[in-house]
Amino acid sequence: MKIKDRLVEFTKKKRGLLATNFYNLETLHGVLRAAADLNEPLILQLTQSSIDYMGLETAVNLGRTGLKQFGVEGYLHLDHGGSVELVQKCLDAGFDSVMIDGSELPFDENIKITKEVVKRAKKYGAHVEGELGYVAKLGQDHGGGFTQPHEAKTFVEATGVDALAVAIGTAHGFYKKEPKLDLPLLQQIAAITPSTLVLHGSSGVPSKQVQAAISKGICKVNLATEIKNIFMSTLQQELQQSQEIDLRKVFPKATMKITELVKMKLIMIKNENYATTIH
C-alpha cells in the first residue's frame, strides 16, 4: 500500500502513523524491532544532517534493507527538505515521500517552492509534505505564528500537497514547560483542509494531548528527539559503569531502550486503551 493511501485510511480511523528518524544502524534497528514486534507500519525519516552523516546511498540502503530484514511495512521519507535540489536527489534515490519545508519563507514563496516539488514528485509517484506556520526548530524561540485555517486551505489548493505539517503549539526538541496544543484550531484546519495533517515536535508532548490531536485530524506523528536522547543517555550511563570497548556489546543496550520507547509510542497513537496498557 502506498504511503498516501495508508495515511488516508488511518486519518479516517482516527489513528496515527508514527514517523521516526534514524541516525545509524542502531537507531534504525531499535525502531524497526518495535514495529516488527507489534506488527505496525512505520515511516522512516532522514534529515539532510543524517544524509550528510551516512551518505545518501548508504542511508537509503540501510532503511530499505532494514524494512525487509524485520518484515515491517514502512516508507522512506525526507524530513525537512530545505531545497528543491535535495528533494530531487531523494526522489532519484527512490524515497516514497519527501518534505519541502518552506515555512520560514513568505507565504507566496512557500507556495511556489512546494508547488514545484509536487510537480517533480508526481513523475515518481512520490508523496509530498509541506509545512505552514511556525514550528520552532532547535535553538529557535518557541513563540510564533500558528497555522491559520484559511491559509492552510489556500496553501493546499494552490500546491496540491498531499500532507501538511501544521503549527498548533509544538516545537522541535524538548520543552521548557509542558506544551498546550490548540485543539480547536486543529479541528478548524482539518474541517477545511483535504490533505493529511502532520504533527512535528511530538517528543515531550503528553500522550493524552497527542491522542486528542489524532482524534481531531492529525495522522502522521513525527518522533526524533526522544530517540536520540534515550540512545545517548543510555550509552552515557553504560560507559560510566563499564570498561567494555566492544561496541557490539554496549550499543545493543541503548538500542533496546529505543525499542521500548517506540513500542509505547506505537501503542499510544493507535488511540486504543492507552491508559490501561502503558503507565
Dump the DSSP string for 43-74.
Answer: EEEE-HHHHHHH-HHHHHHHHHHHHHHHT--E
pTM beyond 0.85: the answer is: yes
Please report, rounded to a whole number, the percentage of residues in the chain having pLDDT higher than 70.
92
What tens digit of pLDDT does each residue of 96-129 get?
Answer: 999 999 999 999 999 999 999 999 999 999 999 9
Q: What residues contact residue 249 under an 8 Å CB cut-off, 6+ apart?
A: none
Question: Is residue 61 annotated as involved in ligand binding?
Answer: no
pLDDT at position 275 is 40
What tens digit of pLDDT does each residue of 133-159 get?
Answer: 876 655 445 455 899 999 999 999 999
The residues spanned by each domain of the chain are 3-268
Task: Please state which CATH number belongs to domain 3-268.
Answer: 3.20.20.70
Q: Is the pLDDT of residue 10 over 60?
A: yes
The residues annotated with a catalytic role in the active site are 79
Name the burial class of residue 239, with classes exposed (0-12), middle (13-18) and buried (19+) by CB atoms within 10 angstroms of its CB: exposed
Question: Is residue 279 annotated as involved in ligand binding?
Answer: no
Question: Is residue 165 annotated as involved in ligand binding?
Answer: no
Whether 35 and 223 have beta carbons less than 8 Å apart is answered as no
